[in-house]
Structure 1
Amino acid sequence: MKRLAFIAAVFAFLGGSHPARATDAGFTQFIASLWPEAQAAGVSRATFDTETSGLEPDYKLPDLILPGRPATGAPSQAEFVQVPADYVKEASIARLASEGQRLMQKYRPALTEIETRFGVPATIVLAIWGRETDYGRYTLPYDGLRVLATQAYVGRRKDQYRTEFILALKLLGDGEVARKDMRSSWAGATGLTQFLPSEFYKHAVDLDGDGRKDIWHSVPDALASAAQQLVNKGWQSGVRWAYEVQAPANVDCTQGVPEVTKPIGEWLRAGFVPVRGQKLKPAEQAEPASLLQPEGIYGPAFLTTKNYFVIKEYNFSDLYVLFVGHLADRMLSPLAFATPWSASTQLRTADVEAMQRGLTRIGLYADKVDGKAGMKTRAALGAYQKSAGLKVDCWPSETVLRSISTAR
């Protein structure tokens, strides 16, 4: 019956004569039902009542599932998927690197302590700050509590956001942050380095010693918290995030998946060459790495270490890691990638989803159908190209999409 009441409320929102009143009733009932869980998490009745009073859902957010409407995707799922050159823009990297160099000097004592205590380079945490909120210049646009409540009510990942909403109430009740400062992204991440509430409770650090873990106003706390999150996810001190390499002409791009990992020295013996004549020490050559070719056989190639995948857990996107890693490098060197990005275009999100479904149907792909041409999609695509006698470039195109759509 509760489910029927919820559906009726949302349908009333979509087409009824009193949409706000009907929707608020269903939403308010849902929020009220969370009190036992909030109480168990240590939220007081006073905090619960104060912070949820007058709270309304925001149905304009992305990533929602509303009856009678097509499911909305995340903003990153643009109609046309971004190619690397669009995401890792040289102008943006150069500007953020210059600012990062200035901030490295401004916050030198805190950054030195972070490097000593956590083993994470100052440039990496600065690059995360730069990417997440433009070094604090970008004001997060949403009321974080409202976002989390809406995502818990009608989001694609209700169970996850149910927990995040309750922990957001705990943040407010514990006095960690004022409601006015709990601004967030559309997905509910908050603070200078964009943490979900659960991440705050797992990783937040009081580096400046004022007795508060303030990721909203204290740069030392925010950067140390980002470093602690990386360490908790497996960061290895003294290991680079990746090495740019020239791939051999006969490279098998289907090897570009995390499951194919071997010592860097083995990759070098197979014909991969560090760019600009860089010489790798024996310890570096002993590090296990995976091959990353973001544009298939076109554009730059990288040997990615364990730390690459640790950054990827901060934000599950290869382009995000490339941006952060390259920005960190550029704070120390003016050199752009040695191999330029290709002028390639990308298929529409819906077409990449169709490709993923086709590859799943013929048994070559077993990951998410999300419209993103990531490592596993590109490798599966390359495997199909091999089996169909096509040019093996591991890059989605209209030609290979047509071929896959007719494959049996």
Structure 2
Amino acid sequence: MECTQLRLAVLLVSLLVSPAAQAADAAFTRFVESLYPAAQALGVTRATFDSATRSLEPDLTLPDLIIPGRPDRQPAQAEFVQTPADYLKESVFDRLAAQGRALAGQHRATLAKIEQRFGVPGAIVLAIWGRETNYGAAKLPYSAIRALATQAYLGRRKEQFREEFLLALKMLQEGHVTLAAMHSSWAGALGHPQLLPSGFYNYAVDFDGDGKRDIWTSVPDALGTIANHLAALGWQRGLRFAYEVKPPRDVDCTIAQPEVKAPIGEWGRRGYAPAYGVRLGATELSQEASLLMPAGLSGPSFLVTKNYFVLKDYNYSDLYVLFLGHLAERIAGARPFEQKWQKVAQLSSAALERMQRELTRRGLYQDKIDGKAGMLTRAALGAYQKANGLTLDCWPSQAVLDHMQ
């Protein structure tokens, strides 16, 4: 009886697998196989290629895929869909800063050597580790090979992921990691630092001297890799990433954009006072900075330096960079933000795209249409508010979008 039921179940499953689905899998298999010559050119043997791709199927649960007949499912990265108040929660900083301080003590000697070699403070390195993988505790649920192959086949950035897939195979061939241990994010990011395979080859270092670049199990290698990455992006030794400031009452939030720069001392003469009444030295006052108001007039303001934009090259999000920088400062013993983040409503990505298109049509915005409320979008929105006699706050609200339409 049980055997009969089992045969019936198998038959039912086979009937449920449509010819279209079977054809799609066959097309995926042909696509993967077509990549072997390119992999071979990188030194990947037939045996390694077959071992990694045998019975490989596309993972259609991944975000950022283009599948005919299926609604778009773009990645809901917290730094782009949450409000500043939700993303920069004090409770999260308290927890991660406490863990970071404990790890700073545990890895004190390693972090000192890292800072000496790369010029990147240990607290910044720890903050990235904490944000990317919760200091190594985060579970990476995807097979990197499967995720990268799927993104190369169906993703929005096929060419990029094709190259990443090939480099992942090269990593297996060279023995940097085993197939079983090659877990990743949905986008194929690997190890403690969350590097794509290209990032591994560009930035990974053997900091513990064992002859391996092990970003999976060696904390010194992982932390050294993070610092090497920032140094390669142009991190400037001895320069803070930002200073929280209190703006003057008549602040014009439309000047909060990267192109508007002045020495910090000049900002001070314009009425931008350091938070908590901190007195800055002559070197700090001479540093060039731009104004950042990530929540418009509904939250803290910052003067950001060159190193802020280095962190932004690591991840292109103002909230992500603020999270990293502030967490690093908290690990080093700094106080919370002096000004509080007010609750504001967050527009959907689609609504922000409509706003960006309208601002572009009016000649106020020249950057990309990406549905993200970055510095240039907020400044352009403020210019629209000024031109139309609206309350100036440089925050993309539904009310302003309605006014545009």
Q: Distance in 2 between matches of 1:52 and 1:220?
A: 32
Report the TM-score, using the length of structure 1 for normalisation.
0.93
Aligned residue in 2 for 1:6: none
* 1:303 positional shift: 0.6
Aligned residue in 1 for 2:363: 363
Q: Where do 4+ consecutive residues of structure 1 move more than 4 Å?
A: none
Aligned residue in 1 for 2:230: 230
Which shifted more, 242-251 or 38-47? 38-47
- Residue by residue over 1:326-354, the C-alpha shift from the partner in whole angstroms, topping out at 9 and shown as x without a partner, is 11111122511000101222222222121
| 8 A Cα contact 2:127 2:325, kept in partner | yes
Aligned residue in 2 for 1:65: 66
- Residue by residue over 1:356-375, the C-alpha shift from the partner in whole angstroms, topping out at 9 and shown as x without a partner, is 12112222112222221111
Q: Distance in 2 between matches of 1:42 and 1:260?
A: 48
| 8 A Cα contact 1:141 1:185, kept in partner | yes
The CA RMSD over aligned residues, in Å, is 1.5
Residues 325-340 of structure 1 correspond to what in structure 2 (within 5 A)? 325-333=325-333, 335-340=335-340
Q: Distance in 2 between matches of 1:16 and 1:349?
A: 35
Identity %, equivalent residues: 58
Which has the greater radius of gyration? 2
| 8 A Cα contact 1:81 1:349, kept in partner | yes
Opposite residue 384 of structure 1, the aligned amino acid is Y
Aligned residue in 2 for 1:319: 319
- Residue by residue over 1:181-219, the C-alpha shift from the partner in whole angstroms, topping out at 9 and shown as x without a partner, is 111111111101100000000000100000000000001
Q: What is the aligned residue count?
A: 390
1:103 counterpart = 2:103: yes
* 1:54 positional shift: 1.1
- Residue by residue over 1:309-330, the C-alpha shift from the partner in whole angstroms, topping out at 9 and shown as x without a partner, is 1111111111111111111111
* 1:155 positional shift: 0.5
* 1:16 positional shift: 7.6
Q: Distance in 2 between matches of 1:355 and 1:181?
A: 44
| 8 A Cα contact 1:148 1:187, kept in partner | yes
Report the TM-score, using the length of structure 2 for normalisation.
0.93
Opposite residue 65 of structure 1, the aligned amino acid is I
Opposite residue 182 of structure 1, the aligned amino acid is M
- Residue by residue over 1:8-44, the C-alpha shift from the partner in whole angstroms, topping out at 9 and shown as x without a partner, is xxxxxxx982344212111111111112221222222
Aligned residue in 2 for 1:155: 155
Aligned residue in 2 for 1:389: 389
- Residue by residue over 1:29-79, the C-alpha shift from the partner in whole angstroms, topping out at 9 and shown as x without a partner, is 11111122212222222211221111111111001111122222112279x
* 1:255 positional shift: 1.2
Aligned residue in 2 for 1:171: 171
| 8 A Cα contact 1:132 1:194, kept in partner | yes
Aligned residue in 1 for 2:19: 18
3-state DSSP class of the match of 2:93?
helix
* 1:108 positional shift: 1.0
| 8 A Cα contact 2:78 2:87, kept in partner | no
Aligned residue in 1 for 2:214: 214
Q: Distance in 1 between matches of 2:42 and 2:258?
A: 37
Aligned residue in 2 for 1:3: none
Aligned residue in 2 for 1:9: none
Aligned residue in 1 for 2:375: 375
Aligned residue in 2 for 1:186: 186
Residues 207-356 of structure 1 correspond to what in structure 2 (within 5 A)? 207-333=207-333, 335-356=335-356
Q: Distance in 1 between matches of 2:66 and 2:219?
A: 36
In structure 2, relative to structure 1, the CA distance for the partners of 1:334 and 1:259 (3 Å cut) is closer
Q: Distance in 1 between matches of 2:387 and 2:77?
A: 32
Q: Distance in 2 between matches of 1:60 and 1:250?
A: 49
Q: Distance in 1 between matches of 2:68 and 2:338?
A: 49
* 1:377 positional shift: 0.8
3-state DSSP class of the match of 1:245?
strand
Q: Distance in 1 between matches of 2:216 and 2:70?
A: 36
Aligned residue in 2 for 1:8: none
* 1:262 positional shift: 2.0
Q: Distance in 2 between matches of 1:120 and 1:317?
A: 20
